[in-house]
Amino acid sequence: MSAGTDVTTADERILQTSPLRKLLGRPELGSVVGAIAVFVFFAFFADSFLQAASLSTVLYAASTIGIMAVPVALLMIGGEFDLSAGVMVTSSALVSSMFSYQMTANVWVGVGVSLLVTLVIGAFNGFMLTRTELPSFIITLGTFLMLTGLNLGFTKLIDGTVSTKSIADMEGFPSARDVFASTITVGGVGFKVTILWWLALVAVASWILLRTRAGNWIFAVGGNKDAARAVGVPVTRTKIGLYMGVGFGAWISGQHLLFSYDVVQSGEGVGNELIYIIAAVIGGCLITGGYGSAVGSAVGAFIFGMTSKGIVFAEWNPDWFKFFLGAMLLLATLLNAWVRKRAEATK
């Protein structure tokens, strides 16, 4: 082989890749294949699954998980996770409700205070993590337990019972309900507004990840923290920001909880943090960080919504509910991993 014909083996960094290969390299690809498989499965086994009304129910279930899965996915790409995310949603609803009630304030004031509180909790997680350098498992487990106790303790102390008082007759409630918990009717089928919140969050998070400098920072701190710091990435600021993002998601979910049920039970939310993490993992986020996407988390939440409600649509024996759920999730994740492996092999 002479040197003159060697033009095709140019620098691999500027190698042209075909659109198909690019698609195969996307983190959410495996989960999309998984989602299609789950969809076809239930379309086949559950008669009512394909109705528009059923789709709206599935989307609602997916959106309530998805709203939290987006910031949780971003956090995982940044190399950390948050065990306090589930109860933080309840905290957000409780703060909002009790502040408005006790101060006899317009409920929008409570909504604002709640945003402040959730952002502070997120910042606290991030600050503790970066300051102490302890694993996020320990830090957020501590926050999880503290929030669980605070939710109960404060509610009991202030309201005298374990649930909040109704704020449905207070000023500002109707408009807040429109924003956080209304139903939009399209062609005779009602869709919950949380679906819009969810899509908006996915869009914003995708833009941040793929088009901004902060997005590069998130991938960098998740990939290799020390290397990232060495090239000038503000690691501390990025991680605190990511935890505050989870706080923001918890705020939206919490307000939805409050304004759709107008009374909040203080013991709720425990266990949901795992569901958010599962959705992000199914969506292609690596638990070790540095890899994943916001769209993937949405697909993961959608798979979760389809599975949990599909079992009901299919009218299977409910004794086996959790088993079916677990098996479906495992299958979806395996399929996801397999597709990703194939995709990487063809690179």
Q: Which of 185, 179, 221 is nearest to 200 (CA)?
A: 179
Q: Does 308 sit near another protein (CB under 8 A)?
A: yes
101/124 with CB nearer another protein: 101
Candidates 106, 175, 216, 236; binder of another protein (CB under 8 A) is 106
| Phi, psi at 240, each rounded to 5° | -60, -40
- For residue 163, list its beta bridge partners: 265
Q: Does 272 sit near another protein (CB under 8 A)?
A: yes
Q: Does 19 sit near another protein (CB under 8 A)?
A: no
* CA–CA dist 241, 244 (Å, integer): 5
* SS3 state at 312: helix
* CA–CA dist 197, 84 (Å, integer): 21
Beta strands, E only, 126-223: 183-186, 189-192
Question: How many other CB atoms are found less than 10 A from the CB of residue 18?
Answer: 8
Specify the stretch interacting with another protein by CB under 8 A; choose among 26-34, 132-140, 163-171, 333-341: 163-171
Per rule CB under 8 A, count of chain residues that contact another protein: 67
Report in angstroms how near the CB of residue 160 gets to another protein at its nearest.
6
Candidates 40, 162, 196, 337; binder of another protein (CB under 8 A) is 162
106-137 per-residue burial string, b: 16 or more CB within 10 A, e: under 16: bbbebbebbbebbbebbebbbbbbbeeeeebe
Candidates 321, 330, 338, 344; binder of another protein (CB under 8 A) is 321
In the stretch 142-161, what mask flags binding to another protein with x, by CB under 8 A? ------x--xx--xx---xx
Q: Which residues make up the interface to another protein (CB under 8 A)?
A: 46-48, 51, 53-54, 56-58, 60-61, 64, 99-109, 112-113, 116, 148, 151-152, 155-156, 160-163, 165-172, 183, 190, 256-257, 260-261, 263, 265-272, 305, 308-309, 312-313, 315, 318, 321-322
